């Protein structure tokens, strides 16, 4: 029995590494845009749908466990994708300025082609008012690292300076509800309890 992380996210790998979890990485073969086009619901249901789809898209042996995870950002009810380029990232930051960003992160476990478990949490991040000068300087320092980040920030880096206040679990904000995942892995005897 093996454990596979179906994600190309460096922060998700770091979280599992720091928790001492033994796993391998396989990039998911999931068309996220197709999932989003067919999804009927908001951010709170889209994140788990994407997490499940990613885990299900990974080719694995029948007794392997596959972790799929995704995060979705909404501001004023509008869903945001990862920025397409630096100008698009600046546009996102201008929209986020002075507003509450709702970040929903989900994680799913799949075995033998079936979703066995899924969990999601939403954090509310209060973005401070961002000046154009700040946005330019921030992206000069953080681009292209934040190009893979749906909220245009890395909490483990200067992204923390975007916010006045955060309500929610730190690991959820990083991009994966780690503590519930570790509990699910212990329950399934994938990691030691």
Q: Which residues are catalytic?
A: 70
Question: How many Å separate Cα 31 from the centre of its chain?
Answer: 16
Residue 131 CB-density burial (10 A; 0-12 exposed, 13-18 middle, 19+ buried): exposed
CB 52 within 8 A of CB 110: yes
Sign for the pseudo-dihedral over CA of 159, 18, 175, 35: positive
C-alpha 108/C-alpha 115 separation (Å) is 7
150/144 Cα distance (integer angstroms): 13
Residues 6+ apart with CB under 8 A from 32: 50, 53, 70
Q: For residues 162 and 148, what is the distance between their CA atoms, to the nearest angstrom?
A: 17
Q: Are 11 and 174 in contact (CB under 8 A)?
A: yes
């Amino acid at each position: 029995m093996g454990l596979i992380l179906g994600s190309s996210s460096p922060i998700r790998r770091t979280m599992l590494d720091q928790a001492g979890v033994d796993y391998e990485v396989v990039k998911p073969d999931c068309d996220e845009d197709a999932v989003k086009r067919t999804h009927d619901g908001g951010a709170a249901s889209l994140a788990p749908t994407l997490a499940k789809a990613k885990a299900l898209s990974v080719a694995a042996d029948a007794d392997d466990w596959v972790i799929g995870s995704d995060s979705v950002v909404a501001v004023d009810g509008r869903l945001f994708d990862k920025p397409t380029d630096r100008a698009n990232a600046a546009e996102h930051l201008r929209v986020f300025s002075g507003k509450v960003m709702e970040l929903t992160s989900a994680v799913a476990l799949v075995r033998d082609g079936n979703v066995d478990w899924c969990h999601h949490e939403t954090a509310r991040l209060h973005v401070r008012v961002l000046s154009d000068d700040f946005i330019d300087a921030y992206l000069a320092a953080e681009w292209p690292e934040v190009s893979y980040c749906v909220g245009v920030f890395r909490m483990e880096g200067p992204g923390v300076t975007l916010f006045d206040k955060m309500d929610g679990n730190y690991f959820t904000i990083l991009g994966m509800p780690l503590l519930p995942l570790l509990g699910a892995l212990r329950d399934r005897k994938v990691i030691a309890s």
